Amino acid sequence: MTAVDDILSRIPLADLAARLGVDEGTAEQATRQALPALLGGIQANTDDPGGAASFASAVQQHDNDLAEGGVNLDDVDEKDGERIVGHVFGDNHGQVVQQLGTTGGPSTSQDLMRQLLPILAPIVMSYLAKRLGGGAAGGQQGGLGDVLGSILGGLGGAQQGGAQQGGLGGALGGGLGDLLGGLLGGGRRA
């Protein structure tokens, strides 16, 4: 099972669809498009040593219980999600939302992606915390990169060392992966 399928299996699609004001199929399609973008964006940020430390600390602060079993969307802090998305995509947030909104099919709009990303971001962070065994203290920064690399590798990307752009392109498929690889490159410099 890929990470996207694993995360998706924990999200109540009927509840997500109701929150977004769309049907379940559209919610699933949009989620399948947004999750690899979030994971790829986090991976791009962790390629920079400062970004790796920042995200390791952020992952440590997220309760892995949110991703345990089924997600209760009422437990998702969307304000925290907005902060996470801001850190992941930085100044490129608008471009990423635009690309996600145009590559996901006719029912996947930019507005939908703008609503969805802050809901998914805390779930992704909780999932990463769970995959890291509940924490990512300073000595485990490589662990976060390894977990993200294995997740993106499982999506079809060749995530090897400096091959970030190619890895994202392969993992996320064509346009979106190329956009994220180009925009985020080696990660956001703090």
Asked whether 30 and 112 are in contact (CB, 8 A), the reply is: yes
pLDDT band at 169; cut points 50, 70, 90: very low
Q: Could you tell me the pTM of the whole model?
A: 0.75
Residue 55 confidence (pLDDT) above 80:
no
**Cα(21)–Cα(28) distance, rounded to whole angstroms?**
13
Ranked by mean pLDDT, the top range of 30-39, 125-134, 139-148, 158-167 is 30-39
Ranked by mean pLDDT, the top range of 2-16, 42-56, 103-117 is 2-16
Tokens coding 72: 């209760």
pLDDT at 10: 92
Tell which wins on pLDDT, 61 or 113.
113
Average pLDDT over residues 148-167: 47
| Residue 169, CA distances (Å) to 17, 80, 95, 176 in order | 28, 28, 16, 7
What does the buried/exposed string (b/e) look like for 26-35 if buried means 16 or more CB atoms within 10 Å of the residue's CB?
Answer: bbbbbbbbbb
pLDDT at 161: 35
**Cα(15)–Cα(108) distance, rounded to whole angstroms?**
17
**Cα(113)–Cα(119) distance, rounded to whole angstroms?**
10
